[in-house]
Structure 1
Amino acid sequence: MISTIKKIIPLLLAFSASYASAHGDVKCTTQPKSEWRPHTELHQKLTKEGWVIRRMEMTSSCYEVYAKDPQGKRIEAFFDPVTFKRVEEN
């Protein structure tokens, strides 16, 4: 069992590294983090619009949201942390 785990760990690490780099070209803002609005405000805004938030993360320039949109579709979306405008992936 330990040998199986040792084989799986490098695969998981490789997958997570490729996943992280897949979003490397999303740029939301160049404003310093001291200018960012709290993520709780974005959470409240999206909830009022009908989103069901599963998880939110902070990237180097965005808020990344994992949720169901108002139509019930599972979605991963990026938002400018200063304006809360949605930013599309390049």
Structure 2
Amino acid sequence: MKHTLLAALALIVLGTGSALASEKCTTPRNEWQSRETLEKKLTAEGWKVKRIKVDDGCYEVYGFAPDGRRIEAYFNPKSLATVRQKMED
């Protein structure tokens, strides 16, 4: 029974690691859209962008969401799709 439990825990941990790894942005730099394009997109959606930087191959954006809450979000630099985000409660 202990072996089964350990095997199940190992699968959960390994599965989580691969899920986190899939959040990384791996697009080659020559395929990236510009920061200005991302900023224009977010501004049109009602964001107030304070800073855009590169982190782990993703664009990392700090600013305020349309509802006024502080937000930190990561975007795929090629598609400009949201990879993940953290919002202030």
Please report the TM-score for the alignment, with normalisation by the length of structure 2: 0.67
Relative to its length, the structure with more strand (as a share) is 2
Q: Does 1:84 align with 2:69?
A: no
Q: CA deviation at 1:68?
A: 0.2
Gaps of 5+ in 2: 1-20
Report the identity percentage.
Answer: 42
Gaps of 5+ in 1: 1-24
Bigger RCO (CA 8 Å, 6+ sep): 1
Give the counterpart of 1:61 among 57, 62, 81: 57
Which amino acid in the other structure matches residue 78 of structure 2?
Answer: V
Residue by residue over 1:43-76, the C-alpha shift from the partner in whole angstroms, topping out at 9 and shown as x without a partner, is 0000000000011101231000001001110011
Which amino acid in the other structure matches residue 80 of structure 1?
Answer: N
Greater CA drift, 52-61 or 35-44: 52-61
In our comparison, the structure showing a higher alpha carbon Rg is 2
Please report the TM-score for the alignment, with normalisation by the length of structure 1: 0.66
Other structure's SS at 1:41 match: helix
Q: Which residue of 2 aligns with 1:74?
A: 70
- Runs (4 or more) in structure 1 with deviation over 6 Å come to none
Aligned Cα RMSD in Å? Answer: 1.8
Aligned residues: 65
Distance in 1 between the 2:26 and 2:51 partners? 23
